[in-house]
Structure 1
Amino acid sequence: MDHAKLKWIYLSLLSIIWGSSFILIEQAIKGLDFVQVGALRICVTAVFLFPIGLKKVKAIQRSQWKWIFWTAMAGSLFPVFLFALAQEQLDSAVTSMLNSLTPLNTIVFGSLLFGVAVSKRQIYGVLIGLIGALVLIIAGANFNESQNYWYSAFVFLATIGYGLNVNIIKKYLNDVNAMAIVTGNFVIIIIPAFIILAFTGFFNDILKNEAMQVALGYVVVLSLFGTAIAKVIYSRLVQISSPVFASSVTYTMPIVAIFWGILAGEKLSFYQILGGFVILLGVYLVNKRKKKA
């Protein structure tokens, strides 16, 4: 299948997987604290990845490992803790909407640090998509006045990391196997994550705490689909498309997250629906090709 069609398939799959991951995090923090959720997510993901991906890691050249390190920090280690922390105060749909800042940070840092050329259409598309996300956030806030929106700063920091991550992969690791990149990330962060998890007392409490056991089940599902499988797909999507196109998945994820929110009993207003359509318009403009003369 040619890349033009394949990238849209990848984008759709990631929208479903990552759009569902926020509700899984929300359920996980009912039995675990945010540190345990973040560290456990890394450890479980490594268990899934290593049997398949360790042989791929051998293909990574010594000079590329410094970029693998930075993608591990920016795209894997810090975001898993930041999102879990944010969702201690924000519901899953709102967190997903705030995650729509990723394309904006991708363009900003791509232009400032990586010399990526950005067209006016892409800038307009990102801004329109961002407006749609803000409409969703404001409309959602009317139904969730008890939430602490200062915690949105943690999501913003995570989106900066994602913006850096996607640009590093595109510029310095574009010829590296996607599975090798993701597995290399977890080779770097598995040991610190395991140490952090051990210090939380997780291994002492898990066998006698039923709530933790239920939460562990959610983390396992989240790690397999939302981290292991999704990160491989995402790395490949970055390689066959552009950083802006790949990061635009954060515009379609809130639609899936809102769907899960409705099933969980959250309210959906007309303005949230309107915001969803504005987001899709932004995605279209970001990825619309310039007509040939």
Structure 2
Amino acid sequence: MESVPQYWLLHFNPPKPSMTRDIQAESTLKAWGFLIILALIWGSSFILIKRGLEVYSPGEVGAFRIVAAGMVLLPLSLPRLKSLNKRQVKNLIIVGLVGSFIPAFLFAKAQTQLSSSLTGVFNAMTPLFVVIIGAIFFGARITRRNTIGLLIAFVGVVILLTVKEGVGFGTFSEINSYAFYVLLACVCYGINLNIIKYKFVELKPVAITAISLLMVLPVALVFLFAATDFSFKITHAEGGLLAAGYITILGVVGTALALILFNIMVKVATPVFASSVTYLIPIVAIMWGILDGEVLLLGHYLGIAAVIFGVWVGNRR
């Protein structure tokens, strides 16, 4: 894998001489179209998580998100099961865990102590973790630009971790440890991106999404209805149905539909470009946060700028 962003798969896999410029332009347009749509969907996910947490616990939000996504894709996943081999099943279980299941819980847990705006910003670290995971497990090389970008983004993360309302920058002992839940989710996404790109050449994006969610659906169902109070809250808690509606949108649109679009984009672009959707996600997340009354201080804006600039530097040519 090349460790710089490229704007279509044609650059990653050099085109045949017969390929025309029109085809290349169409591939580029598709990649950018998917990028913008996904930024709007995923950038709105954090405010939906916030609304769900007003009634439900992080575990309930994460599990119901997976249940909603997995259930809506059953008509697509079940018919495809019989055509899988053991290697594909193993890889799809991993994709289901690191691409959907684990991050759903991590983001919900993080937002119990982080604003939706800042959660979206920390999520922008995903492309750098794509590079790191690619270098460790898939033979990619980390360039000088990657290293510089990582260092700049790291400074931004430290700023965001330590800035405190009313006191400027805090000390290391005052860091908001909940941000590490988001960073761990970014590691999961980095693993997921590389597996999809390099282990599923023969599977279509819809199959990857639907079956990977099916693999983790039973675990989510058992946890949700056997280990939580979800069943009681949805019928008895004030606002339970409305909050469940927000999580349903999160699962169906923000997970099921978005993952299909995302996996298609991975097929027509490179892993790093696909993960570059996280450049735009913070903008959408911050807009929702401000509309919801969240306050960002000067230190937050400095940290946000450093993270996004670092990610950009680390992934440009």
Taking structure 1 as the reference length, what is the TM-score of the superposition?
0.86
Deviations 1:161-203 (A, max 9, x none): 1111111111111331111111111111111110101121322
Other-structure match for 1:51: 75
CA distance in 1, matches of 2:153, 2:207: 32
**Structure 1 residue 33: Cα displacement:** 0.6
**Structure 1 residue 63: Cα displacement:** 2.2
Task: Report the residue type matching 2:124 in the other structure.
Answer: S
Change beyond 3 A, Cα 1:82–1:197:
same
**Structure 1 residue 245: Cα displacement:** 1.6
**Structure 1 residue 61: Cα displacement:** 3.5
Other-structure match for 2:121: 97
CA distance in 1, matches of 2:150, 2:268: 20
Other-structure match for 2:284: 256
Within-5 A mapping of 1:187-226: 187-199=214-226, 200-226=228-254
**Structure 1 residue 265: Cα displacement:** 1.1
Is residue 169 from structure 1 mapped to residue 193 from structure 2 by the alignment? no
Indicate the percent of aligned positions where both proteins have the same amino acid. Answer: 36
Change beyond 3 A, Cα 1:150–1:265:
same
Q: How many pairs align?
A: 288
**Structure 1 residue 29: Cα displacement:** 0.5
**Structure 1 residue 239: Cα displacement:** 2.1
Native 8 Å contact 2:53 2:112 kept in 1: yes
**Structure 1 residue 6: Cα displacement:** 1.7
Other-structure match for 2:110: 86
Native 8 Å contact 1:244 1:286 kept in 2: no
Change beyond 3 A, Cα 1:143–1:109:
farther
Within-5 A mapping of 1:28-43: 28-43=52-67
Taking structure 2 as the reference length, what is the TM-score of the superposition?
0.80
Other-structure match for 1:10: 34
The structure that has the greater radius of gyration is: 2
Change beyond 3 A, Cα 1:172–1:2:
same
Native 8 Å contact 2:121 2:304 kept in 1: no
Change beyond 3 A, Cα 1:128–1:40:
same
CA distance in 2, matches of 1:144, 1:62: 56
1:150 to 177, 185, 195: 177
Native 8 Å contact 2:52 2:246 kept in 1: yes
CA distance in 1, matches of 2:154, 2:247: 29
**Structure 1 residue 85: Cα displacement:** 0.8
Native 8 Å contact 1:252 1:280 kept in 2: no
Give runs of ≥4 in structure 1 deviating > 3 Å.
52-62, 117-139, 141-148, 268-289
Return the structure number with greater helix share: 1
Other-structure match for 1:19: 43
Other-structure match for 2:4: none
Change beyond 3 A, Cα 1:134–1:238:
farther
CA distance in 1, matches of 2:250, 2:189: 18
2:211 to 178, 184, 188: 184
1:228 to 251, 256, 263: 256
Q: CA RMSD in A?
A: 2.8
**Structure 1 residue 50: Cα displacement:** 1.5
Native 8 Å contact 1:17 1:230 kept in 2: yes
Unaligned runs of 5+ in 2: 1-24
CA distance in 2, matches of 1:144, 1:218: 35
Unaligned runs of 5+ in 1: none
Native 8 Å contact 2:61 2:105 kept in 1: yes
**225-234 or 4-13, which deviates more:** 4-13
Other-structure match for 1:76: 100
CA distance in 1, matches of 2:155, 2:47: 23
Other-structure match for 1:238: 266
